Amino acid sequence: MKYLIASDIHGSAYYCRLLMEQAETERADAILLLGDLLYHGPRNALPRDYDPKTVITMLNEWKNTLFCVRGNCDSEVDQMVLEFPIMAEYAIFSAGSHLMFATHGHIYNTYQLPPLPEQAILLHGHTHIPAWEPFGCGQYYLNPGSVSLPKDHTPHSYMTWDDQTFTWKDVTTGKAFHSLTLP
């Protein structure tokens, strides 16, 4: 099963459209969104083509393919217009021999760890910076970066997860800029 993993759309119709085009190109079986879907947040500049209503329509068209966790900019009001659940603080997936703990990153992160077994993956967005860092006992912190508001001169990005391989890609070109195959 192939997953497309993304975070921090922040209401950008332009970048949401590119992400959905990449999902089609990637032939993703499922899309995992790590929060901050509609609102841009008080500390961020408005993203390109800020249009949450259009983002709502685009995401609702994919409702049967989406798995989401709640970001710090997501609220009950957002849930009222989205036709798929977004309010979970985290989700747990089996990633082959690894357990993957998916969250937004504002509550659980590398500074405030959830209980994780050895060989676990902590997957979150929130920082807007792609990451692939080992820590602890065979554990990994992975971050797809931000679809619409990247920071630290990183690309507008998402990642794929296919079997044991995670690949980070530029959402504007689809070109890979990093990959990690887990043992």
Q: Which domains are present in the chain?
A: 2-181 (3.60.21.10)
Residue 150, pLDDT score: 97
Relative to beta strand 176-181, strand 165-170 is antiparallel
Please say whether the beta carbons of 63 and 98 come within 8 A: no
Give me the count of residues in the chain: 183
Counting as low any pLDDT under 70, the low residues of the chain are none
Helices and strands (H and E) in the chain: how many = 3, 11
The one-letter code for the residue type at 10 is: H
Residue 59, pLDDT score: 98
73-82 b/e with 16+ CB inside 10 Å = b? bbeeebeeeb
Residue 38, pLDDT score: 98
> How deeply is 115 buried, as exposed, middle or buried, from its count of CB atoms within 10 A (0-12, 13-18, 19+)?
exposed
pLDDT tens-digit profile of 10-37? 999 999 999 999 999 999 999 999 999 9
